[in-house]
Structure 1
Amino acid sequence: MVRLSDVLAVPSERLLASLERLVTLCRTGGVYRILASTAALGALTVVLRFAFSLRKGKVPDLRRIARNLTTGQRGSEYDIVIVGGGTAGCVLASRLSENPNVRVLLLEAGSSSLWNPLSRVPAMYPQYFHSEYDYNLYTVPQAHAGMKRKFWPRGKMLGGCSSMNAMIFHHGDPADFDRWAELQKGQDGALAWTYKNFSRYLHKFERYHPSKDHPLVDISHRGSTGPMLSGHFGYCAYGTARFLKACVNIGFPFIPDFNTPRGTLGVNTVLTFMDPRGRRVTTESAYLTAEVLSRANLTVATGVQVTRVVFERVKDKVPRAVAVHFKDTHGDMFEALARHEIVLSAGAIHTPQILMLSGIGPAKHLSSHSIPVLADLPGVGSHLMDHIVVSYHFRDKTKSVLAGLSHDPRRHGKFDISATLRRLALVVHYQLTGRGPLTTNVGEILAFARSSDAALFARAGVPLPTPDVIEDSTTGSHSPDIELLFTPMAWLDHACGAYPEGYHFGMHTILLRPTTTGTIRLRSTDPSDELLVDPQYLTTRHDVEVLIRSARLLGAILHQSPLADMVDPSGYPDPTGLLNHDLASKSDSEIETLIRNRAETIYHPTCTARMAPLEDGGVVDPYLRVYGVNGLRVCDASIFPTITSGHTASPTIAVAEKAAEMILESIPS
């Protein structure tokens, strides 16, 4: 059988160039209007076809699944109630319900991401920001980062942030997990978190697709049977190859695979959570398949907000979690009963919120809101760690397709028919072929380094900035604290701002091992009220110094061939001062000013219900059980003892795989 996608599988740049010429030829009179109408009709047809192909979500009648606290009508009981259907929650629901004797209820505040026609298009995830699929969180003003409130996108849908991220498949450094185990100080179950033992869960969820273009990948270090597809799929811009060669030319080693026991130091394009048809792979699409949703012992309820965990308190006994209260979109309250246990998988922001609303957290803070203290755990909502990203902007003289998308006339209050047609052409091309620029994961290539690597800085021709010695916050002698990222387009305000006219690309520095920690706190006892999110960015001098050194490396890469050949210092004016062609010549103080003005989240909040001994501010033990109560666990990125030296989706999925195994082992036969 001949597929349409095979017939139309022409090189993306050639097709787009042809479409561009066609638009130029048809810029007059009726022909232009006909072309615009045809393109609009084609795009509408594609969207409708996509919409009709969507899998319906499993949204049961809430009156049957839980007791209605308004009417008193009783509902079902479950063995396990999972709060939050995000990156970890979907994994738990799927794995726990593999046992037909275990009744599982998954509660999610959002809806299915698959109802959105853009949900599987890799490059379109910023369209979720500030939408109904986003919690639309902001930090408190950051005293050391321009006194700005920072936007924190958080997925409000099944799949959570796996449905609205850059799909970078990266485990972190092996030493990160050895440090996790070390921080447990010999508690029972601690050794299960070493890289040697934990890596089997990193492999369990993966199904790697080998690529003839990447023959050096050792498939013995890749998973082959898991539900999450990985591979070198997706678009790679011309600038990506130039960045890679420039990094190698200044001394970065080429690394075939970031995800092996060897570690992550080096440069390469990234593995992605994407399938061969160019579609985003999320934990919803991978774990909550139609077959899984048809299981009689699994119930998935969307559009519900959990307000607290309910505990049974018997004299002289440890309180036990027995139910959760939640409300629907109409405000009706329900109670879902759990015979065995409740698992909080609401993420690093909302898991501590639910714990505190349930009376588990810092006693002084809870008492200030008149919340009865069930368990005084100062670590709840504390030790917040996040990766800071600082973006630098450059003109692209190659005028690549994606570089042209940096500027969106609509964000300047203008309508440009030519720009609109170009975007429609990209959409149509993607829908017909599953290929092209819309399959970019935006962060197409990474480079990892140590800020103390004097040899690398010397090869790059950059002396180590002062001070010569700064605190080593890495997890091992061969672990990174710097990540450099090239993107074939540039943006402002998480791609929601109005970027100037022209063709631009971006380079970014990421602080992997921050020494700053922050907090999540309640503003009130209303579960719908805005939280007090304070990452306390750039509070320590260490964090600023590492980012300055990162910028120095970027400056060296920028002037290294062949990347230097695509930088265009001429052209459009730069009244906003966004461009950084002079990055290499800036002083440390000038770079620090840029860092403090541009620091943003790279979407990796962790550690707010961390796995650590109680005396060290821990919230859960090595089995992810919450201290001071029974029948309650946490399973999401909030349990990270310390943030990993890389991207957090992969370790979060592996944590959920391990948690599901531990929970099933704890259920009496």
Structure 2
Amino acid sequence: MAGGSSTSSIVSQPGFASVVALARSPAALKAFRTAGLLAGLWFFLTFWHKKDPKKAKKLESKLVTDLSKVGRRVKQDEYGYDPDEYDVVIVGGGTGGCVLAARLSEDPTIRVLLLEAGRSNLDDPVALVPAVGTRTFRTPLDFNFWTEEQKNADGRKRYWPRAKILGGCTNTNANCYHFGAPSDYDEWAQLQKNQEGAEAWSYKEFLPYFGKFEKFTPSKDYPGVDASQRGSSGPVDIGYFGHLSHSPGAFIKACINAGIPHNPDVNTAQGTLGVTKCVVLGAVHFQITDRDEPVTYIDSKGQRVTTETAYLTPTVLARPNLTVATKAYVTRVLFDTKDASKPRAVGVEFADSTGAKYQVKARKEVVVAAGAVSTPQILMLSGVGLAEHLSDFRIPVVADLPGVGSHLMDHLVVDWHFKDKSKTGINFLRAKNFSQKVQLTTALVQYKLTRKGPLTSNIAEVAAFVRADDPRVFPENKYSQTALPEDTSSGKNAPHLEIFGSPMIYEDFGFGWTPLESHFGLHTVLLRPKSTGQIRLRSTNPEDPPIIDPNYFTDPNDVKTLIRGARLVQDLVKVEPLASVVDHTGDGSPGTHHHLHTVTDKELEKLILERAETLYHPCCSARMAPLEDGGVVDPQLRVYGIPNLRIADASVFPTIISGHTAAPVIAIAEKAADLIKAAVKQT
């Protein structure tokens, strides 16, 4: 049949003409387009993900990976020589450690060594893409910690991500710049009970350390932000950066319509209550038009800011008095105990990837900045901790400090999922089908060429901080059936709950179910838990993770507070303009929570206990408090009984703050550097 286009006529044609006709069929053309797209995606990702050998070589020239150049090899049963000496040895190159190394080495007379168990990740071309920080979870760049089974929280173990990278968890967090309520720090000072230096932790006295590291970029689109209250010359870029998706934008207006005030800057003396676009560490700016649609623009970087990128710059790494050693796993702090009543930290032992051990001497101070999990573990392995616990492992006791590993606190979050009618969600970042792969390819190309678009999202794009007893938010006539929890806040202007909005949803930290359709998430965070837990040794092997038991929900007030938060979420999705974003075809769909208004408080409690996960904010496990109150360090961050051993990370929080923890850790490290500089000069 001349000119026929049916499959039968094509097959009947002989030779080359048959092949050409078959190739022109709609099915074949679609297959070719699909294959071409996937091939292009493969080529693009292969090219983009390929590590730059020149950049890697440049990094290696600045960072020490041959540990024999840092310390002397420890031969079995032979400790009779003097190892290499430094004035200050810093254990842990995470959020606080990078700050300490940079600030202490500003003084050319102080020789500084920074030991980091992981490595730099800056040779990975996607390491600083804001939206993909969690890609390091459950990889060699993560400590892969798990809690014990939580008997009051569905009996499950919880995964605790902790980055094993220079810069620590600033590589993986949501980049939210928030440091809690002013009264949180006044409470810190009060908990010191008038010890020398206690008042220096009050909000008024501690605030300058936040300004010291800030470099705030004002925006003409946010005239409500008083730039004079923000730092302008620090090493850490902060500002109203990042992609703003449609559903989080609608969340802001819905909160205002529901009685939650708008707060353009939640980091001032006026307090943190209200709803806001998250201020982030990064490099992408945006504005909201009258129609609440984001118009984004970007500076020359468009990248995540970590404490490695901010503080360990090439200029800093070139200082002759600073050595940064990576893949150096600290096994213990070394002490001189000739006078048992006055032990002194004299150095650090560490191992390389083969298990070979090395030692270095600290002439002046040792500073442990390994985080709220590893810091107490290292202290206990070194003989500093509860004597009874150490004796179980036959570890010689250097200092009997029961507070080491105790009073562990954490922020819990419960994620609530809703189908998104606007179809502007970014679940395609974990592409599962052809359509999502097309969206991901588009976003990758957009970011690569312009540094704009969804990949500049910090995921937690907007947040509201509320009190559970605020009558504007929880009017009695509407919430009378929901129990009012006990007030655990640090003051009348401090929140109990954070509700943040994200343009995507995730289960099991992104390793579980991912929907094919567009969804958004609203997340309730318990900011002031009453439950506390502990860190304990599992063995004397430093590479064995410690026993982590946060004791979630041991106090019933915690679940009461989260029930209030869930009730607020169920009401917010009914308030315009967010109500118009909710796609009710998702009602009853697995993994969504459109039905919250239909469940009883008892049923809601069960959901919360099943779904609650860490918000990555463990702290207080070596807290700054009086010795009689279970304290480990004094207001100068010195370990009790060992004045030249200090701690400078989230473990020293006297109690958990009502906000995000990265900023206060950076400020603590800034303050610790000043304290150490002064002490070194005196000695």
TM-score by length of 1: 0.92
In structure 1, what is the Cα distance between the partners aligned to 2:87 and 2:608?
Answer: 49
Q: What is the correspondence of 1:549-588 to structure 2 with a 5 Å cutoff? A: 549-570=564-585, 574=589, 577-588=590-601
State whether structure 2 residue 170 is matched by structure 1 residue 157. Answer: no
- Aligned twin of 1:457: 474
Pairs within 5 Å for 1:440-479? 440-458=457-475, 462-468=478-484, 470-479=485-494
Q: Distance in 1 between matches of 2:540 and 2:254?
A: 53
Return the alpha-carbon distance in structure 2 between the equivalents of residues 382 and 556 of structure 1: 38
The DSSP-based 3-state class of the residue aligned with 2:347 is strand
**Matched AA of 2:673:** A
CA distance in 2, matches of 1:646, 1:541: 21
| Separation (CA, whole Å) in 1 of partners of 2:534 and 2:190 | 24
Q: Report the equivalent of 2:184.
A: 176
Deviation, structure 1 residue 278 = 1.7
The 1-side partners of 2:36 and 2:515 are apart by 30
State the one-letter code of the partner of 1:431.
K
Equivalent residue, structure 2, for 1:114 = 122
Q: Deviations over 1:213-255 (max 9, x none)?
A: 1111001111101000001111000111100010000100000
1:492 aligns with 2:497: no
Corresponding residue number in structure 1 for 2:14: none
Partner of 1:68: 73
CA shift at 1:59, angstroms?
3.0
1:541 CA displacement: 1.1
User: Over aligned residue pairs, what C-alpha RMSD do you find?
Assistant: 1.9
d(CA) in 2 for partners of 1:525 and 1:220?
Answer: 51
Deviation at 1:38, TM superposition (A): 2.9
1:570-601: CA deviations, max 9, x gaps?
15973xx4211121232111110110000100
1:215 aligns with 2:223: yes
Instruction: Return the offset for 1:63.
Output: 1.5
Query: Is 1:79 paired with 2:87?
Result: yes
Amino acid at match of 1:548: I
State the one-letter code of the partner of 2:69: R
CA contact (8 A) 1:129 1:136 kept: yes
Given that residues 306 and 326 in structure 1 are in contact (C-alpha distance below 8 angstroms), is that contact kept between their aligned partners in structure 2? yes
* 2: CA distance, partners of 1:27 / 1:636: 58
The answer on whether the counterparts of 1:68 and 1:74 sit within 8 Å (CA) in structure 2 is no
The one of 56, 59, 84 aligned to 1:56: 59
Larger mean Cα displacement after TM superposition, 44-53 or 534-543 = 44-53
Which segments of 5 or more consecutive residues in structure 2 lack a partner in the other structure? 1-25, 284-298
For the pair 1:301 / 2:325, whether they are aligned, the reply is yes
Deviating more after overlay: 607-616 vs 315-324: 315-324
Aligned equivalents of 1:377, 1:117: Cα separation in 2: 44
- Choose the corresponding residue for 1:291, options 290, 308, 315: 315
Report the 3-state secondary structure (helix = DSSP H, G, I; strand = E; otherwise coil) of the residue aligned with 2:642.
coil
**Cα distance, 1:34 vs structure 2:** 2.8
How much does 1:200 deviate? 0.1
C-alpha separation in 2, matches of 1:404 and 1:327: 41
CA contact (8 A) 2:431 2:440 kept: no
- Alignment map for 1:85-100 (pairs within 5 Å): 85-100=93-108
Of all paired residues, the percent bearing the same amino acid is 48
CA contact (8 A) 1:384 1:518 kept: yes
Q: Deviations over 1:187-234 (max 9, x none)?
A: 000010000010000110110011121111001111101000001111
- How far residue 31 of structure 1 moved from its aligned partner, in angstroms, is 3.6
- After superposition, the C-alpha distances for 1:259-295 in whole angstroms (9 at most, x for unaligned) are 0000100001010000233200000000000000000
Superposed displacement of residue 545, structure 1: 0.6
- Report the Cα distance in structure 2 between the residues aligned to 1:153 and 1:522, rounded to whole angstroms: 19
- 1:645 CA displacement: 0.4
Q: Which residue of 1 aligns with 2:630?
A: 617
Q: What secondary structure, in the 3-state scheme, does the structure 1 residue paired with 2:426 have?
A: helix
Give the structure 1 partner of residue 235 of structure 2. Answer: 227
Partners in 2 of 1:316 and 1:331 — Cα distance? 30
CA positional deviation for 1:150? 0.3
- CA shift for structure 1 position 401: 4.3
Which residue pairs with 1:661 in the alignment? 674
Residues 241-250 or 59-68, more deviating: 59-68
How many residues matched? 635
Deviation at 1:118, TM superposition (A): 2.0
The 3 A distance-change label for structure 1 pair 235 and 329 is same
Instruction: Tell me the residue number matched to 2:19.
Output: none
SS of 1:335's equivalent in the other structure is strand
Alignment of 1:342 with 2:400, yes or no, is: no
Written as runs of structure 1 = structure 2, the 5 A alignment for 1:325-336 is 325-336=349-360
For residue 474 of structure 1, give the secondary structure of its aligned residue in structure 2: coil
Paired letter, 1:420 = K
Picking from 642, 645, 653, the partner of 1:632 is 645
Q: 1:202 aligns with which of 205, 210, 213?
A: 210
Taking the TM superposition and a 5 Å limit, the aligned residue runs for 1:376-455 are 376-405=400-429, 408-409=431-432, 416-455=433-472
How far does the alpha carbon of each residue in 1:171-201 deviate from its partner, in whole angstroms, 9 at most, with x for none?
Answer: 1100000000000000000010000010000
CA–CA distance in 2 between the matches of 1:168 and 1:127? 18
Determine the C-alpha separation between the residues in 1 that align with 2:169 and 2:355: 26
- Aligned partner of residue 146 in structure 1, secondary structure: coil
Matched, 1:530 2:541: no
Match of residue 250 from structure 1: 258
Aligned counterpart, 2:619: 606
Would you say the 8 A contact 1:64–1:75 is kept in 2?
no
Q: Closer, same or farther in 2 for the Cα pair 1:573/1:261, shift >3 Å?
A: closer
Equivalent position SS for 2:628:
helix
Give structure 1 stretches of 5+ with no counterpart: 1-23, 410-415
Q: CA deviation at 1:40?
A: 2.8
Mark the structure with the bigger radius of gyration.
2
